[in-house]
Structure 1
Amino acid sequence: AGPSWLKNAASSSNIAQIGVEDHDLTLAGYNSIKEQLSDIPNKPKLIPTGFMCNQLRAVKDAKEIELLVQAINFADQAIETVGATLKPGVTEREISWDLEKTMRELGADGISFNTIVASGPNGAKAHHKPTDRRLEIGDGVVIDMGALYQGYCSDITRTFVIGKVSPEFRKIYDIVLSAQETAEATASAGMSGTDVDGLARQVIESAGYGNEFGHSLGHGIGIAVHELPGVGPNSANTIENGMVFSVEPGIYIEGWGGVRIEDLVLMENNRPRVLTKAHKRDLVVI
């Protein structure tokens, strides 16, 4: 069983190598292809080409950017709408559902990944799963979410505070915001992912919180939430015009909580254009 056209093409064209998208090919699919080619005299080799597909996907065309912008708009509207309703007593799970429901009502096809709602000390976990913990006065609330629209994904993070904000929380928020805005203002096409990461990381390190920023600055996005380019300390990817990627610095303190702010940007005319529009300039206190 398998694609007979592949066997016919390989036999008639004397093909020596066949590329396969190895990142998504199942073992059953691989075995099926091998079976189809098993009795061909020249025995073409199967060559992994997933990396080539990923590289091609990294640079978006105009239609892809249009769909990404729409997915971003849904997430922007949902996080601002639901963020304004946060109050003591509401659970992380309830907030997560409200975000998904709101995005779908706006026109999104669904969520692009499992929503993160991390309140109070849970904010120290960068990939926290929503629980039945109820919001309390003084909590920080990190919300990381995205919409799916016609196959394309968005990704946004905003941090809110319930009630009066402490001086420490405001200080850390301002450091994270400064790190993000520095990267968004000074990144340029031709830089490596490591160099872009360093623009934000040096702001956080110079403020004394380098050890509390434990993940990469960002990642590409498109038909998957995580695509090339990588934007992190060990990324050799070159940032090119047409790439859309996240800028999401954070500070996480065990037992206290965390702050993360995330935008999606398009590298355009050698400079980043911020596509995410949800409010962030001043800490949102509910």
Structure 2
Amino acid sequence: MSVPRSVYRKRIRRAQEQMESAGIDAFLALSLENYRYFTGDVRKQPRMFIPANDEPFVIVFEGEVEEAERKTGLEAKGYRALHEMIGHVVSFLNSIDTETPTVAVEMEFSTPAFLLERFRMANPHVEVVDAKQIVAPLRKFKDRYELDFMRKAGKLADIAMEKALELLRPGVSEREIALEVEYHVRKKGAERLAFPMFVNSGERSLWLHGLATDRKIEDGDVVLIDVGPVYEGYCADIARTFVVGNATEEQRRVHRAYVEMQEKTIEAIEGSKGEVSVLDLERRNAEFLKSVGFGDSYVRGFVHGIGLNFEETPFPTIFPEDLREIIEKDMTLSVGHSVLSVRGVGGFRVEDTIYVGEKVERLTTFTRELLEV
């Protein structure tokens, strides 16, 4: 499904409305995700400048100007060096009839710090504020085009997990599984993976984050696999836990607790959307795990937003203020982000991507049973 150019123009207008309401003069987009959200275009290191009361323009390498204008329908300004890139913005800001212009810039953990610092050095008279107040209220609600892309990403996530299950056996290395799954899912239509795939086996299943190493899978291992295919820029995230050989009763008990916690979270979202906050969900999860004997093992961050970024608003593990975010209709979420680590038993995780519609729609549907391989 192609996205009409009018959709991108509407997004720009809504961002300009957000700026006017907040008294912000312009927004400088440094990330590919925001550039893509407002233009539909994809390229390396693009920048976009959206004034509150003027026409936006994109800033690209000199040789890309013609193509960028054709693909975005916007004016493109070319550069050959960093100072020329910043110069286009400086030139516009100098034309604004205000002593201290206010410019919103992404202040995320992925924002290149040197670019932000260079911008400040070149514009000492400019007040720089966080662009989250402009972008997050738009991007956290998905339109029908975005949802279509995320549904397709979800199908690819299921395909990836099916391939991982097929490959999982003693003697195969974590890295071999990750390489084969990525190759397979990209052949099936994934643009890329949103993050390096987790294949955490044995003691490494206890880790919150992960990667694939040369460790070979052994009989008796708990193996936690997490993969996030991207389709047309949009991510889906799925995680499942497997046991190589026969699962113990304690492993089954931990896994059941995790699956039940996920189910209760989704039921709460479906039954109380527009009312329940991320913090409410965190508290319920902590209380539930305490009631089943795993209270000391709970890791906060069970739910987060997902879309063009695999972690976006609400993103409470990085931005604690997002705990106050209310779960509302048309949001897409990852449910099951944290690991339940029990020493001597293993680390367990069941993560799915959902869409909050009139009812909750699971965009990833691979079985949530504890599979023995």
Q: TM-score range by the shorter chain?
A: 0.7 to 0.9
> Which residue in 1 is equivalent to 2:267?
185
**Aligned-partner residue type, residue 189 of structure 1:** K
> Which residue in 2 is equivalent to 1:220?
305
Distance 2:147 2:197 in 1: 23
> Which residue in 1 is equivalent to 2:295?
210
> Which residue in 1 is equivalent to 2:148?
66
Unmatched tracts of structure 1, length 5 or more = none
Distance 1:44 1:131 in 2: 46
Distance 1:184 1:8, change over 3 A: closer
Q: 1:17 aligns with which of 101, 106, 116?
A: 101
Displacement of 1:3 in angstroms is: 4.0
Distance 2:363 2:158 in 1: 10
Other structure's SS at 1:130 match: coil
Q: TM-score by structure 2 length? A: 0.68
Displacement of 1:108 in angstroms is: 0.4
> Which residue in 1 is equivalent to 2:347?
258
> Which residue in 2 is equivalent to 1:159?
241
Distance 1:12 1:174, change over 3 A: closer
Count, aligned residues? 279
Displacement of 1:169 in angstroms is: 0.9
Distance 1:5 1:167, change over 3 A: closer
TM-superposition CA deviations, 1:84-140 (whole Å, max 9, x none): 331111111111112211111111011110111111221111212222222222211
Displacement of 1:5 in angstroms is: 6.5
Distance 1:44 1:274, change over 3 A: same
Greater alpha carbon shift after TM alignment, 69-78 vs 2-11? 2-11
Greater alpha carbon shift after TM alignment, 215-224 vs 10-19? 10-19
Displacement of 1:28 in angstroms is: 4.0
Higher relative contact order (CA 8 A, sep 6+): 1
Other structure's SS at 2:334 match: strand
Q: 2:324 aligns with which of 227, 236, 242?
A: 236
Distance 1:47 1:181, change over 3 A: closer
**Aligned-partner residue type, residue 219 of structure 1:** H
Tell me if structure 2 keeps the 8 A contact 1:179–1:201.
no
Other structure's SS at 1:227 match: coil
TM-superposition CA deviations, 1:161-206 (whole Å, max 9, x none): 1121111111111111111111112223121101122333332221
Distance 2:240 2:96 in 1: 57
TM-superposition CA deviations, 1:227-266 (whole Å, max 9, x none): 0113679511111111111110532023542110001111
Tell me if structure 1 keeps the 8 A contact 2:282–2:300.
no
Distance 1:204 1:236 in 2: 22
Tell me if structure 2 keeps the 8 A contact 1:193–1:230.
no
**Aligned-partner residue type, residue 218 of structure 1:** V
Tell me if structure 2 keeps the 8 A contact 1:112–1:147.
yes
Tell me if structure 2 keeps the 8 A contact 1:217–1:231.
no
Other structure's SS at 2:161 match: helix
Tell me if structure 2 keeps the 8 A contact 1:71–1:154.
yes
**Aligned-partner residue type, residue 20 of structure 1:** A
> Which residue in 2 is equivalent to 1:199?
284
Tell me if structure 1 keeps the 8 A contact 2:329–2:357.
yes
Distance 2:252 2:92 in 1: 66
Unmatched tracts of structure 2, length 5 or more = 1-83
Distance 1:231 1:48 in 2: 17
Tell me if structure 2 keeps the 8 A contact 1:124–1:255.
no
Distance 1:48 1:56 in 2: 15
Q: 2:159 aligns with which of 45, 60, 77?
A: 77
Q: TM-score by structure 1 length? A: 0.87
> Which residue in 1 is equivalent to 2:61?
none
> Which residue in 1 is equivalent to 2:371?
284
> Which residue in 1 is equivalent to 2:37?
none
When the two chains are superposed, the root-mean-square deviation of aligned CA atoms in Å is 2.4
**Aligned-partner residue type, residue 278 of structure 2:** G
Other structure's SS at 1:230 match: coil
Tell me if structure 2 keeps the 8 A contact 1:17–1:47.
no
> Which residue in 1 is equivalent to 2:226?
144
